Structure 1
Amino acid sequence: IVRIYVLFSISNSTADKPTATLTVMGRLIPAGGSVTLTCSVNGSTGWKFDWFRYGQQYPADGSSGNTEPDGTIRVSEGGEYSCRGGRGDPVSESETSNKVTIWRTVSRKPSLILEPNWSQIYKGEKVTLTCEIQDDGGTQWTYEWIPTNGRPITSSEHKTITATELDSGEYSCRGIRDYKLTEWSDSVTLTVKHYKPRATLSSEPKYMPAGGSVTLTCSVDGSTGWKFDWFRNGQQYPADGSSRNTEPDGTIRVSEGGKYSCRGGRGGRGGPVYYSGNSSEVTIQITDPNKPSLVLQPNWSQIYRGEKVTLRCEIQGGTQWTYEWRTTNRNSPSSSEYKINSATESLSGEYSCRGKREGFSWTPWSNVVNIAVSNVYPRPAASLSVNPDRVQHFYYDPLSLSCEGNSTEWRVKRFTERGYLSYCSIWGTMTGSTCTIKSHWFDSGVYWCESGSGEFSNAVNITAQRIGNSIVFVNMFRPFTKFSIEIFLALHKKQIIKTILFDHSDHTVTMLKKNKMNTEDVFVADICQYFSLKSLFLQTVAITSPVSSSVPVMFIIGPVVGILLIILLLLLWRCNQSKGDTFF
């Protein structure tokens, strides 16, 4: 019976061998400090504990073995720790506990360096973070980085980033070796912009006198580390690229006119250079000392709707100017004259001009001319009448213009289609208030009266025509009376031609042009016959339309026209006999 009991006890002890448990409050030992390890065996008592570091008894002499209920030990070195319990005689040992890693902080703080040291980074640029630890040359450090931003974890001293928006944030690092940790480095903040930056070019001033210079300044979005390339009229400036310079200077002095721009570039060092976008162009202009004079012709202080005026930009000295105008109209010319053919209120405003020629040479802006256009016509102080008063006039024909008003000092002026302003004393003879135009000085244009006190008459447009082959009416058509005879005079190469029209209606026959009768406005049946002494033939034009009458029209018209024709021929024969002409 005794033998069986002993065998049972041994078997039971082997099957129920307990496992020790190792716990620690805080696994990081501060610099110069320690932590407490606690070992226990399944909540039971009476145990003595052995301690192990890296699987070896700790301390090596076993001096730290201690008894429950203490079961603790203080350690100041990093490493992997475990424990085991034992009790009884002979000693019954538990299973070894779990391993616990303890880290010791060393009093070293790494330096985190950003290369290039840019506070603002753009998408696609490459930067490198370097974690530097001042050391005595012991075992090589491995490194821990925060944040990882989803990138593969690296234990390298260097962290290279090709920037995206996800890389924005604060970065820190620390070193690890022999269960020792350095402190975390100070953080470095990366700000990654998603867009490609554009350079900005400024100049103060944008105008320089001949022989002078101006300073251009280039920058990129307020960021640093850029070198700048310069361009003039789209080409690198200077051609050898010698002006490339670095921030914070970013300036260049130029003495040539032209369109300038710049571009920033940074990076390199074995990698590609990252370029900004080109800046907007800045035009540098050389100021020419000649200031234009802007003249308004006619020089009226008040202009009324529909009137015609011309602004002329005059520059003394030099040739081949092109012109720029400051006006209310976007479609201004590049010539020296700005013509307003029909003034409207929208054209009111201040006008000035300047000249430009090759080499980006500009004159200063001219004097300002203010144009005020009114829709309200004033009552003229005088009236201008034309004699003879007809629609068309011919060169070399006598023509006089008379001013009628309160003043006795009227002068007739004109502004011709060719842009010349002058008084009657140049192209005519002024007698009292009447101007008679000299035949060889007659010209088309605007004519008006002007007094010595600045009063004006109405303006009259007169068109001078050269004598051609067309017939021009002296008097306009008037309504015909029934069975009346109207005789019209026309000019044709200074010969008088008599044109006779017959009409038995009460309606108006429209104008006779170029030897043709226009009958669109005749609404009843008519027979019009006319003689032309130039062509000496009789032509009959028949126009038909329904006439409400119980008597056939032709039976009435035929005899009447025959009688009238005989009377007319007799009258014409007698008239020509009295002048000594022969009709046939």
Structure 2
Amino acid sequence: MRDQQNRDIRVSQGGIYSCRGTRGNPVYYTDISDVVTIEKTISNKVVVKQQPNWPQIFRGETITLTCEVQEGGETTEWEYEWRGPSTPTQWTHNNDVTFRVSESSSGDYMCKSRRRDDSYSSTEWSEAFTLSGSNKPRATLTAGTTIIPVGGSVTLTCSVQSSDGWKYEWFRRTQTTSEVQIRDQENRDIRVSQGGIYSCRGTRGNPVYYTDKSDDVTIEITFSNKVVVKQQPNWPQIFRGETITLTCEVQEGGETTEWEYEWRGPRTPTQWTHNNDVTFVVSESSSGDYMCKSRRRDDSYSSTEWSEAFTLSVSTDQPKAQITSHMRDIPVGGSVTLNCSVNASSSSSGWKYYWYRDEKSSEALTTQDAVFHSNGQISVSQEGLYRCRGGRGNSVYYTEDSQSVRIDKKAAPEPESSSFLTPLIVGLVCGVLLILLLLLLLCRFKQSKDSFFVRTRSTNQSSAMNHMIKDEAQHSRHASTVQGDACVYESIKDLHDTQNDDSVLYAQVSQDRAKTKKDNDDSLLYTQVYHNKAKPKRHKGKPAPAAADETVYSEVKSQTALD
């Protein structure tokens, strides 16, 4: 450099500089010094920019970093140098670097540029651009509702965290078909009217970068068929320990469809099953609401709506039977009616009744033991200690036994409804008995009065009459051999009847000739005397004796017997 022999110089031009010393005459030269490169800084500012300009970059994506020179009015051809997490690059005419982001790609990136015709004049280093690579994301699928109403549709939304620049791919499959992409659907939100299993994923960049697929979302289409939960047996009150069956009934239209069913209740919801009923033994934990829905067997993503809730209320106390009877005594030749009921004041129903006699008996009564009327009523004619209990269902659920009732075999009392007739009947009976008693006393008095007069006459006549009867008996004995049995009548006048000549005593003596001679020793002659009293004449001051026919019997032995 001419005119520069000083030890110090100032330069404003970039380049490679060196120097040497000289002295003397002739001039002596030292060796040339090492070279020093001097670069001139250009005022142009450079900036590192990212393409695509997404706020969040994921590992595996491909990006481009560009070094941009903010030029003035003139256009200059530049070359560029990079400094980053990897080894700094050499000067290159390309102002960008493209690479696939990895874990080692994270860090600060800077660049500078220089004129291609002045390699010792360059810009300053740009501000650092920080690159942070995140793990590969998973798309998220959400649905406003997973049940498509009748004739409607549902909206599905796919998203990838809070990043930008995504397009979306949608997929649908069923349990029997493979997954297929839904074409012409790249938006974040779509509307579907078909049941199935849906998923999605995000895509962006070139080459395309894919997120992981979202979780599956099952969409069901709703049929218009209505389903109803019904209980069998259909008793209004259910007790703990009973067995019941809940049935899910589909009210179909004109077509017949094969269905499968799902249940929701107090316990864990059931899986889909071909059985439309569930049978269980009722416990306290069984109380609650039960619902069901159904779907076609050939389309597992088209189902009915949930049925209305069926509320099951379980009574925890075992019911007790009650036995009643209007009578406790069995009337002669009759029976007593017994009635059995279960919680007559409640709404329980469906009971059958079992009857037992005697406390230790476990064998129920049969038609040979009692007469069975309507359910819960029997008639018994045998005394004993009776009890009953109710049972229903299959298998049979039994109530507690009723209290025991003793039935005795005695005359049954009058029914309470006729108690007001008792005094009247007793009064009539007593009146009739009193009248009969009075008539009987009157007759006895009359008979005793007449017999007094008869005995008086008979005493005075006994000697004469006995003698006559004896003679007649002997005569009858001899005559009987020819004539057989004979009756002898004799008129005997009452000696004391001086005022009535018509009074006659008739004596009839009979002998049975059929007897053998041997038997004649014990033969008896019976004399029947008729005393015919004529109407007496009335005397002043004396009561007239009552007229009556008196018969007097006398025992007379035959002659042979007397001998």
Question: How many Å apart are 1:90 and its aligned residue?
Answer: 5.3
Corresponding residue for 2:230? 295
Q: State the SS of the aligned residue for 2:34.
A: coil
Distance 1:379 1:359 in 2: 43
Q: Which amino acid aligns with 2:377?
A: T
The structure in which a higher percent of residues are helix is 2
Corresponding residue for 1:311? 246
Distance 1:406 1:305 in 2: 15
**Match among 285, 289, 292 for residue 353 of structure 1:** 292
Corresponding residue for 2:166? 226
Q: Which amino acid aligns with 2:99?
A: I
- What are the ranges of 5 or more consecutive residues in structure 2 without an aligned counterpart? 325-337, 353-371, 380-391, 402-563
1:552-563 matches, cutoff 5 A: none
Q: Is the 8 A contact 1:312 1:336 kept in 2?
A: no
- Shift of the 344–285 alpha-carbon distance from structure 1 to 2, 3 Å rule, reads same
**Match among 205, 217, 221 for residue 282 of structure 1:** 217
- Shift of the 294–409 alpha-carbon distance from structure 1 to 2, 3 Å rule, reads closer
1:252 matched to 2:187: no
Corresponding residue for 1:159? 97
Distance 1:145 1:404 in 2: 101
Question: How many Å apart are 1:404 and its aligned residue?
Answer: 4.4
Distance 2:378 2:4 in 1: 138
**Match among 181, 204, 209 for residue 149 of structure 2:** 209
- What are the ranges of 5 or more consecutive residues in structure 1 without an aligned counterpart? 1-56, 386-400, 416-428, 437-442, 450-456, 460-584
Cα-to-partner distance string for 1:447-483 (whole Å, 9 max, x where unaligned):
679xxxxxxx459xxxxxxxxxxxxxxxxxxxxxxxx
Cα-to-partner distance string for 1:62-84 (whole Å, 9 max, x where unaligned):
23433xxxx33232222222233
Distance 1:356 1:154 in 2: 70
1:364 matched to 2:305: yes
- Shift of the 200–379 alpha-carbon distance from structure 1 to 2, 3 Å rule, reads closer
1:85 matched to 2:60: no
Q: Is the 8 A contact 1:287 1:363 kept in 2?
A: yes
Corresponding residue for 1:144? 81
Cα-to-partner distance string for 1:211-241 (whole Å, 9 max, x where unaligned):
3222222123433333222112144344xx2
1:65 matched to 2:5: yes
Q: Is the 8 A contact 1:110 1:131 kept in 2?
A: yes
Q: Which amino acid aligns with 1:193?
A: S
- Shift of the 347–111 alpha-carbon distance from structure 1 to 2, 3 Å rule, reads same
1:321-332 matches, cutoff 5 A: 321-327=259-265, 328-329=267-268, 331-332=270-271
Q: Which amino acid aligns with 2:56?
A: Q
Question: How many Å apart are 1:167 and its aligned residue?
Answer: 0.6
Aligned residues: 344
Q: State the SS of the aligned residue for 2:305.
A: coil
Q: State the SS of the aligned residue for 1:210.
A: coil
Corresponding residue for 1:380? 319
Corresponding residue for 2:129? 188
Q: State the SS of the aligned residue for 2:151.
A: coil
1:431 matched to 2:371: no
Distance 2:91 2:309 in 1: 72
Corresponding residue for 2:113? 175
Distance 1:223 1:190 in 2: 15
The structure in which a higher percent of residues are strand is 1
Corresponding residue for 1:454? none
Q: Is the 8 A contact 1:414 1:446 kept in 2?
A: no
Cα-to-partner distance string for 1:79-127 (whole Å, 9 max, x where unaligned):
2222333445555444333222222221222343323333333333322
Distance 1:313 1:91 in 2: 120
Corresponding residue for 1:242? 184
**Match among 383, 403, 410 for residue 340 of structure 2:** 403
Corresponding residue for 2:11? 75
After alignment, is 405-414 or 354-363 more displaced? 405-414
Distance 2:91 2:289 in 1: 70
Question: How many Å apart are 1:366 and its aligned residue?
Answer: 2.2
After alignment, is 88-97 or 353-362 more displaced? 88-97
**Match among 388, 394, 409 for residue 445 of structure 1:** 394
After alignment, is 158-167 or 214-223 more displaced? 214-223
- Shift of the 369–91 alpha-carbon distance from structure 1 to 2, 3 Å rule, reads same
1:463-502 matches, cutoff 5 A: none
Distance 2:322 2:189 in 1: 68
Distance 2:128 2:168 in 1: 31
Distance 1:384 1:94 in 2: 142
Cα-to-partner distance string for 1:245-303 (whole Å, 9 max, x where unaligned):
2xxx52222222222111223333xx4x3322222221222233455332334466875
Corresponding residue for 2:41? 105
Distance 2:126 2:205 in 1: 25
- Shift of the 301–126 alpha-carbon distance from structure 1 to 2, 3 Å rule, reads farther
- Shift of the 355–384 alpha-carbon distance from structure 1 to 2, 3 Å rule, reads farther
Corresponding residue for 1:334? 273
Q: Is the 8 A contact 2:240 2:318 kept in 1?
A: no
Distance 1:408 1:119 in 2: 76
1:126-145 matches, cutoff 5 A: 126-133=62-69, 136-141=74-79, 143-145=80-82
Corresponding residue for 1:197? 137
Question: How many Å apart are 1:338 and its aligned residue?
Answer: 3.7
**TM-score normalised by structure 1 residue count:** 0.50
Distance 2:150 2:377 in 1: 55
Over aligned residue pairs, what C-alpha RMSD do you find? 4.1
- Shift of the 432–372 alpha-carbon distance from structure 1 to 2, 3 Å rule, reads closer
Q: State the SS of the aligned residue for 2:104.
A: helix
**Match among 105, 116, 119 for residue 52 of structure 2:** 116
Q: Is the 8 A contact 1:144 1:154 kept in 2?
A: yes
**TM-score normalised by structure 2 residue count:** 0.52
1:499-518 matches, cutoff 5 A: none
Q: Is the 8 A contact 2:243 2:281 kept in 1?
A: yes
Q: State the SS of the aligned residue for 1:74.
A: coil
Q: State the SS of the aligned residue for 1:166.
A: helix
Q: State the SS of the aligned residue for 1:211.
A: coil
Distance 1:218 1:406 in 2: 61
Q: Which amino acid aligns with 1:362?
A: S
Distance 1:148 1:134 in 2: 25
Distance 2:40 2:23 in 1: 33
Question: How many Å apart are 1:165 and its aligned residue?
Answer: 0.6
Q: Is the 8 A contact 2:157 2:190 kept in 1?
A: yes
Q: Is the 8 A contact 2:69 2:113 kept in 1?
A: yes
